[in-house]
């Protein structure tokens, strides 16, 4: 048998691969030994884990009424005997192993602290393994956030009111999370990813050849594969303003997140230059403003700890969650009180999103979305009052009579026809906002009422969403009445 001489370059490459595999195995051995030490009753006595890395659950939250033991407090007390460790110790981040000697320094230069985001085994965030892909990720994020009002941010929560905020290219904000080291499988913390302004700016172009089947070949924030199918279907619905099918209740599927479309006025006469979504000019607006059709979408990642309908252990099964929130530009800002987007205040008031179960977090975000959507509809109410009757024409008889007459250019008739088309479309759109909450409530919330398993904080989120739902119902009545009156003026 003839000996085969391998090229020197190939031999060197193989040796490098073997060295990296050996380094990886050594790290895994150390991580395994470290994890074993966390299961002891007194983890502070183990080598390599200082007292500063260990905390114990605080069972009483500042937002709950003194002297009253709520469902949330009872649940937290059940976990309070377990020592907590930093979540960076619970989940090792292996990004640096992809880049040999340059490792962490290279990642820090391109991504800031974002490369340190621990894997939660629920939402597949993209982990580049080549320098070129690091550059793609950084450039994509820079293009997105160059437009004011756009954002991509990862916010992690534990049960002790700690919050950690990550953006690409920046230092992390907030405290290191403290988690239960005895929990295996999916991450013992909660995560919210806000992707805001996807369609505004130059980061995405629907006419670009990089699109395939209605989606970009690569939005580099997220990975691909079997576990990400639901994620990409929600991004597709959001990007293309695809309505939810309502012939059957879509929320009976545990993987279906809340999704609805609406219209909003944009105070920007140059909107069309860099906007993917359907948009156009407002009729006869004195400042030349535009309006746009937009979407609000939640994707709730499912995993081994997903609640499957058994309410006997509801709170434990839904305690930790990961949610992707897709919103238009400017939808949320630093004044948002439910989840932080900037540096955290030294003392926070109100409930903490990380204290909510998955169901409560969903209802919180749905309630916030419906509130902001109703604000958009209120802006249209003021606009139609202005263009259809100049405001309050009831107290101005001459102006009121002029509503019945037209000029030679039929300007008033053309305005009425345009308004009727818009009002008809808006009535259908606001009806969808209402219907989506009704279907979600029927499938996801009503079954939990009979078993009385929703914690008090979750019930507060439900009541807020219901309040926004009733506001939308009243606004729909306005559009219906305005449509009838505008048709009467046109016919006259």
pLDDT at res. 23: 62
Please report the sign of the dihedral spanned by the C-alpha atoms of residue 374, residue 376, residue 381, residue 382.
positive
Reported as a single tens digit per residue, the pLDDT across 201-235 is 878 876 654 555 555 556 889 877 655 668 888 99
pLDDT at res. 337: 65
Q: How confident is the model at residue 29 (pLDDT cuts 50, 70, 90)?
A: low
CA atoms of 446 and 116, how far apart (whole Å): 39
pLDDT at res. 267: 81
Reported as a single tens digit per residue, the pLDDT across 402-458 is 545 544 444 566 778 888 999 999 999 999 999 999 999 999 999 988 888 888 989
**Percentage of residues in the chain having pLDDT higher than 70:** 64
Closest to 243 (Cα-Cα) out of 428, 376, 443: 428
The pTM (predicted TM-score) of the whole model is: 0.79
List, in order, residues 6 or more apart from 351 with CB less than 8 Å away. Answer: 63, 457, 460
Contact predicate 36/72, CB 8 Å:
no
**From residue 190, how far is each of 121, 353, 354 by CA, in Å?**
11, 9, 6
Neighbours of 438 (CB within 10 A): 13
Q: How confident is the model at residue 19 (pLDDT cuts 50, 70, 90)?
A: low
Reported as a single tens digit per residue, the pLDDT across 35-68 is 555 444 343 343 333 344 444 444 333 334 334 4
Q: Which has more pLDDT, 309 or 47?
A: 309
Closest to 261 (Cα-Cα) out of 130, 418, 425: 425
Closest to 324 (Cα-Cα) out of 101, 152, 96: 152
CA atoms of 225 and 353, how far apart (whole Å): 29
Q: Is the per-residue pLDDT at 76 higher than 50?
A: no
CA atoms of 13 and 8, how far apart (whole Å): 9
CA atoms of 347 and 243, how far apart (whole Å): 41
Closest to 200 (Cα-Cα) out of 141, 297, 273, 265: 273
Q: Is the per-residue pLDDT at 130 higher than 60?
A: yes
Q: How much is the average pLDDT of 385-403?
A: 56
- In 49-201 the beta strands, taken as DSSP E runs, fall at 54-56, 83-86, 151-157, 163-166, 173-174, 178-179, 190-196
DSSP state string for 15-43: HHHHHHHHHHHHHHHHHHHHHHHTTSS-G
């Amino acid at each position: 048998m003839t000996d085969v001489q391998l090229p020197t370059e190939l031999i060197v490459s193989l040796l490098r691969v073997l060295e990296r595999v050996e380094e990886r195995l050594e790290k895994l051995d150390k991580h395994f030994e470290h994890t074993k030490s966390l299961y002891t009753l007194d983890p502070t006595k183990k080598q390599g884990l200082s007292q500063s890395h260990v905390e114990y659950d605080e069972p009483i939250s500042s937002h709950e009424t003194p002297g009253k033991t709520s469902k949330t407090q009872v649940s937290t007390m059940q976990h309070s005997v377990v020592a907590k460790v930093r979540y960076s110790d619970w989940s090792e981040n292996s990004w640096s192993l992809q880049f040999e000697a340059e490792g962490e320094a290279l990642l820090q230069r391109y991504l800031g602290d974002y490369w340190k985001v621990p894997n939660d085994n629920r939402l597949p965030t993209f982990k580049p393994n080549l320098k070129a892909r690091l550059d793609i990720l950084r450039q994509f994020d820079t293009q997105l956030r160059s437009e004011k009002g756009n954002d991509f941010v990862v916010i992690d929560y534990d049960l002790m009111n700690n919050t950690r905020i990550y953006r690409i290219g920046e230092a992390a904000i907030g405290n290191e999370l403290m988690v239960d080291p005895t929990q295996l499988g999916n991450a013992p913390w909660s995560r919210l990813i806000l992707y805001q302004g996807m369609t505004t700016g130059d980061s995405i172009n629907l006419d670009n050849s990089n699109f395939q089947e209605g989606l970009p070949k690569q939005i580099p924030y997220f990975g691909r594969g079997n576990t990400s199918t639901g994620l990409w279907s929600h991004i597709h619905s959001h990007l293309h303003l695809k309505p939810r099918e309502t012939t059957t209740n879509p929320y009976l599927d545990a993987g279906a997140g809340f999704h609805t479309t609406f219209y909003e006025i944009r105070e920007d006469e140059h909107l069309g230059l860099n906007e993917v979504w359907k948009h156009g000019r407002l009729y006869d607006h004195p400042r030349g403003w535009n309006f746009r059709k937009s979407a609000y979408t939640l994707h709730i990642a499912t995993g081994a700890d997903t609640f499957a309908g058994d309410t006997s252990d509801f709170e434990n099964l839904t305690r930790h969650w990961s949610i992707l929130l897709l919103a238009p530009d400017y939808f949320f800002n630093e004044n948002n009180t439910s989840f932080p987007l900037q540096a955290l205040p030294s003392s926070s008031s109100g409930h903490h999103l990380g204290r909510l179960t998955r169901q409560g977090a969903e209802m919180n975000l749905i309630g916030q979305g419906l509130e902001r959507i109703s604000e958009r509809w209120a802006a249209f109410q003021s606009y139609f009052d202005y263009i259809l009757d100049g405001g309050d024409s009831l107290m101005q008889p001459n102006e009121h009579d002029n509503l019945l007459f037209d000029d030679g250019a039929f300007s008033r008739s053309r305005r009425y026809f345009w308004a009727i088309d818009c009002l008809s479309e808006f009535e259908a759109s606001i009806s969808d906002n209402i219907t989506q909450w009704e279907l979600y409530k029927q499938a996801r919330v009503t079954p939990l009422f009979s078993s009385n398993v929703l914690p008090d904080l979750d019930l507060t989120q439900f009541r807020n969403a219901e309040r926004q739902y009733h506001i939308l119902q009243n606004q729909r009545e306005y559009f219906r009445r305005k449509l009838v009156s505008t048709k009467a003026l046109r016919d006259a």
